[in-house]
A and B are shown apart, each in its own frame.
Chain A
Amino acid sequence: DGGITQSPKYLFRKEGQNVTLSCEQNLNHDAMYWYRQDPGQGLRLIYYSQIVNDFQKGDIAEGYSVSREKKESFPLTVTSAQKNPTAFYLCASKTSSTDTQYFGPGTRLTVL
């Protein structure tokens, strides 16, 4: 079954700890994206990657880091430098021939 998976669905961390969110896709999509959703804020772009071993900062990259070592995987690390890490994190992907992005189910991160 093709799709985008994010794990875990819910994640709890103590303040000051780094945490890595997983995103995997088996759609053979070239580009992958990380968004953050906060109440009333819509979707804000954190990082995106157009090809393997390359990625660009989005609108709110501070306190986050990513890697793109494989086409299928685009993990996001929320570092202790991120001031308000509690949010709903969404991963998306698309082919290079379309503008339509397809989203994973999301990870709810709560920092205690």
Chain B
Amino acid sequence: DQQVKQNSPSLSVQEGRISILNCDYTNSMFDYFLWYKKYPAEGPTFLISISSIKDKNEDGRFTVFLNKSAKHLSLHIVPSQPGDSAVYFCAAAGGGSNYKLTFGKGTLLTVNP
């Protein structure tokens, strides 16, 4: 059973516009959420995270929003740049294990010039 779901396998946006990547989770025990960015044939790079006690965290062009009641989080990238084109993974921590992350399957973002 997939506890972290990224229902959009891909997303295409124009340069300069907003990119919104979505993630849903089912385990209400998750208390920390992370976004990673991954280029082909490279390891994922940590992007931004949010604790369950917050509903928003911002870092430059990247903002993560958390809606606990809906068990939903989203990553906003504004403005989008061609270099943002990559696969984005949502991950969740907690859920009874302090050492494991549960990953979604990823969303491929393509930013067109």
A6 / chain B contacts, CB cutoff of 8 Å = 43
Given contacts A41-B105, A42-B89, contact A103 B44 (CB under 8 A): yes
B binding-site residues for A, Cβ under 8 Å: 9, 32, 34, 36, 41-46, 49, 89, 93-94, 98-101, 103-106
Of all chain B residues, which has the CB nearest A90?
B43
**Residues of A within 8 A of B (CB-CB), count:** 24
B45 to chain A, nearest CB (A): 7
A-B contact pairs, 30 of them (CB 8 A): A4-B43, A6-B43, A40-B9, A41-B105, A42-B104, A43-B44, A43-B103, A45-B100, A45-B101, A48-B99, A58-B100, A90-B43, A90-B44, A92-B43, A99-B32, A99-B34, A99-B93, A99-B94, A99-B98, A99-B101, A100-B34, A101-B101, A102-B46, A103-B36, A103-B43, A105-B42, A105-B43, A106-B42, A106-B43, A108-B41
